[in-house]
Structure 1
Amino acid sequence: MILLGKAYQTINRVLEKFMVIIFSLLIVDVLAQVFSRYLLSYSPSFTEEFARFSLIWLSLLGMAYLTGQREHLTMDYVYQKFSEQNKKKATIFIESIIILFATVVMLIGGGNLVYITLDLGQLSSALQIPLGYVYMVVPVSGLLIVFYSIHNISKVS
């Protein structure tokens, strides 16, 4: 339990810093795009693609982070009507469903997507980087969601 708590804090710190870096790069990239387009009448092709990939990474990692903070979007009107015992049962059930989804869709499905795109050698059009590296965020986010859901269950039990 203590080890899980320390891992939780470490992963949070690393993820927070990584997302700040991604967001900072996204801001610099978009500002450079606007500057070059309107002041230099030239628009580098890689800036749009980098912004898209950064937003994908930021969104999926942010989703995992919010799962860990229990701040993801919920409709909890009915949940708030439950007794404390039923709230615990509902939380365990919900987190188990989240683990199942993250494992099947994000870890297994995302892992297959990464493997196939790397195996086929697909490259992004402007940056010429393997698309498997871009898609790598799907299984990574899935793994983080599974970890955070296990942590959330351990806090309830």
Structure 2
Amino acid sequence: MSDVALSAKRWSLRVNWLVERVCVLLLLLLVIDVWLGVLVRYIIPLPLTFTEELARYLMIWMALLAVSSGIAYREHIGVEFLFERLPAPLRRWLAVAFDVIGFAFFGALFWYGLGFAEKGFGRVTMIYAMPKGYAFSGVPLAALVACIQLALMGLHDFFAARAPEAVAARVAQGGSE
């Protein structure tokens, strides 16, 4: 594998390592929050009303950030039926084309997500009375991380010694060296 492909793959796995830890932390907070919500609703009658809203925002942030992890492991949607039937040179170009299309989509999502989050700072949440921009900023952040992953995986796909054999998980596990 060329040095560029190897470096891109290593950086992709490093970014993914961080994203996975953040997602696990968000999941842990989500589980604690939901259990607290169940406790205060059915067992201990406390007037804690924030648990539903917090759970919603934690789940959205976690799901959005997990998209980049799916990109790193090549678990995103691909046209596998067509992809596996093509010769190696065409598979390489199709994989790069998927990366470019994904990058364009997440680039647009990042750009419009910035405006969405900015407008959210003018509105407040119902329970916390905090600006919704903090919750909405998960959209451009997740899109930016997805763009970084797609750029790294695109470099890997383009410079790898062998063309990818599938658009699924083999890339991050060393299958298209």
So what's the TM-score if we normalise by structure 2?
Answer: 0.80
Task: For residue 28 of structure 1, report the CA deviation from its aligned partner.
Answer: 0.4
Structure-1 residue corresponding to 2:140: 139
Structure-1 residue corresponding to 2:54: 50
Unaligned runs of 5+ residues in structure 2 are 159-177
Task: For residue 8 of structure 1, report the CA deviation from its aligned partner.
Answer: 2.5
Matches within 5 A, 1:52-131: 52-104=56-108, 106-118=109-121, 120=122, 122-131=123-132
Contact 1:23 1:54 in 2 (8 A): yes
Task: For residue 48 of structure 1, report the CA deviation from its aligned partner.
Answer: 0.2
What is the number of equivalent residue pairs in this alignment?
Answer: 154
Percent of matched pairs sharing the same residue = 21
Alignment RMSD: 1.7
Give the counterpart letter for 2:93 in structure 1: K
Residues 31-79 of structure 1: per-residue CA shift (max 9 Å, x gap): 1111111112446210000000011001100112211221123341121
Higher helix share: 1
Give the counterpart letter for 1:113 in structure 2: F
Q: Tell me, in whole angstroms, the C-alpha distance in 2 between the residues paired with 1:16 and 1:9.
A: 10
**Structure 1 residues 130 and 3 mapped into 2: Cα distance closer, same or farther (>3 Å)?**
farther
**Structure 1 residues 44 and 69 mapped into 2: Cα distance closer, same or farther (>3 Å)?**
same
Q: Tell me, in whole angstroms, the C-alpha distance in 1 between the residues paired with 2:114 and 2:28.
A: 27
Contact 1:33 1:43 in 2 (8 A): no
Contact 2:96 2:154 in 1 (8 A): yes
1:148 aligns with 2:152: no
Q: Tell me, in whole angstroms, the C-alpha distance in 1 between the residues paired with 2:70 and 2:55.
A: 22
SS at match of 1:45: coil
Contact 2:111 2:140 in 1 (8 A): yes
Task: For residue 4 of structure 1, report the CA deviation from its aligned partner.
Answer: 4.1
Q: Tell me, in whole angstroms, the C-alpha distance in 2 between the residues paired with 1:36 and 1:136.
A: 29
Unaligned runs of 5+ residues in structure 1 are none
Q: Tell me, in whole angstroms, the C-alpha distance in 1 between the residues paired with 2:23 and 2:102.
A: 22
Structure-1 residue corresponding to 2:166: none
